[in-house]
Structure 1
Amino acid sequence: MAVPKKKKSKSKRNHRHAVWKGKAALAAQKAISLGKSVLTGKAQGFVYPIDEEEESEE
């Protein structure tokens, strides 16, 4: 017969949720920072190849 699991406390649930949200916020911050550095041309650790054909069309 199926037996329900013990209920975990709200504080444990909230802590897991906060950790998950924190990791997501950090990843989003890194992505925004990388995007800004690529757009301004100040990217040092990221190589963004640009084709010469695309430059001649503009």
Structure 2
Amino acid sequence: METARANNLEPYTYPEFLFKNLLRVQFEAHPEFLEEYLPWDSWVQTSYKNNR
């Protein structure tokens, strides 16, 4: 929650997105896939930006 807030993301929507999508990511075999889910990733920033 604090990481989401620190990166100006919706503090409840971003963790929900992680819980739903990380189950499908094969990050044990490809740890670089996790980079796409970090709060400072440009795709995450545009998708989950806090508009307050």
Which entry has the higher C-alpha Rg, 1 or 2?
A: 1
User: Could you state the TM-score of these two structures normalised by the residue count of structure 1?
Assistant: 0.27
- Higher RCO, 1 vs 2 (CA within 8 Å, ≥6 residues apart): 2
User: Could you state the TM-score of these two structures normalised by the residue count of structure 2?
Assistant: 0.30
